[in-house]
Amino acid sequence: MDEHYIPVDIQLLQPGVEKPFQLYIHLGDRFVPYTQGNGFTEETRQRLFREGIRTLHIREEEKNDLRDYMNRNLQALLADPSLTQQEKSSIVYDTCIYQLEKLWQAPDAKSIEDSKEIFRRTVDHVISSNRDAIRDMILMISHDTSIYTHSVNVGLLGTNLVREIYRNADKDLHEIGYAMFLHDIGKTRIHHRILNKPGRLSPEEWEIMKLHPEKGYELLSKEGHLTEEAAVTTLEHHERCNGGGYPKGLQGSQIDELGKICNLVDSYDALLADRVYKPALSPYQALKIMKEEMRDQFDQQMFKEFLYMLY
């Protein structure tokens, strides 16, 4: 059988904790089982570092085991004093992406509940990060075509932008983070042929795609996980201040502030993403377009705060 392997950053592996998967080392063109007498210890990790090895591998079919392991160990990793804030950001990021992938496979009440825990720890990490650490985190995030990466980016950028805008105001960032991470959950109810179509959508397909805000609202409501904040992010993240958005074409003050913030970071991340029909833009190019061509879509004060957060 043709086996596939996926890389695992060795920073994600907690020394001394038993792993429910086999690790492999990539030697030449082969993947060789990586086993050590005492398991994966801190000494093992340091030795790999000294040899310039940052990643080991697992078989792709054991991906779910890796995911469960990372979720279980997130708390321990975030409390590990030997890891820098930047390394912790990277761990949080990868763990969220894994969790979103799992949630996408089965978006039911149980998966949503499990994800809440991961989002909560992620938001705790954001809260514990100072401005410099947040900028490092923003530089670290990738903008690929995956809906998981996009959801995590919107979760991180959106939560932090709310924190910037409302500074000392009494906002529940955990609830806001949860709502931001799940803003596109309705896309799990859109047929994968439309969702993953490599080119531009036809007008008919586009009409179906535009149903995802309401489908997200319905899904969370049906699974008993619709919060006040998630109702806003799912339903209003494609509404625009100038009334040109969907599903309702709301304008200005008709759109909840959280909906506007979600639309702002969602648009930014979409511009940075690589698509078949458009190249990925740099942050500078994306912000220039947002400022010049998409100006009426956004609340200008929020846009200023967003720039301040990025630079």
CB of 37 to Fe ion, least distance (A): 47
**Residue (137 or 157) nearer to Fe ion, CB:** 157
CA distance 197 to 199: 6
Report, in this order, helix, strand and coil percent for the chain, each rounded to 5: 60, 5, 35
User: Which residues would be at the binding site for Fe ion (CB under 5 A)?
Assistant: 184, 266
**Residue (11 or 267) nearer to Fe ion, CB:** 267
CA distance 305 to 100: 28
CB of 264 to Fe ion, least distance (A): 11
CA distance 90 to 85: 9
Q: Are 190 and 209 in contact, with CB atoms under 8 Å apart?
A: yes
CA distance 62 to 89: 24
CB of 290 to Fe ion, least distance (A): 15
Interaxial angle between packed helices 257-272 and 147-166, expressed in degrees from 0 to 180 and rounded to the nearest 10: 130
CA distance 153 to 186: 17
CB of 240 to Fe ion, least distance (A): 13
Q: What 8-state DSSP symbol labels residue 45? A: H
**Residue (57 or 150) nearer to Fe ion, CB:** 150
**Residue (91 or 230) nearer to Fe ion, CB:** 230
The total number of residues written for the chain in this structure: 311
Angle at 109 between CA 141 and CA 107, to 5 degrees: 50
Q: Work out the number of other CB atoms within 10 angstroms of the CB of residue 296.
A: 11
Q: Work out the number of other CB atoms within 10 angstroms of the CB of residue 217.
A: 21
**Residue (9 or 274) nearer to Fe ion, CB:** 274
CB of 248 to Fe ion, least distance (A): 14
CB of 83 to Fe ion, least distance (A): 30
**CA–CA distances in Å: residue 163 to residues 110, 243, 289:** 29, 26, 25
The strand order across the sheet containing 5-9 reads 5-9, 55-59, 24-27, 30-33
**Residue (184 or 236) nearer to Fe ion, CB:** 184
φ and ψ at residue 12, rounded to 5 degrees: -80, -10
CB of 213 to Fe ion, least distance (A): 7
CB of 188 to Fe ion, least distance (A): 12
**Residue (256 or 266) nearer to Fe ion, CB:** 266
**Residue (175 or 266) nearer to Fe ion, CB:** 266
Residue the block writes with tokens 């990793």: 77
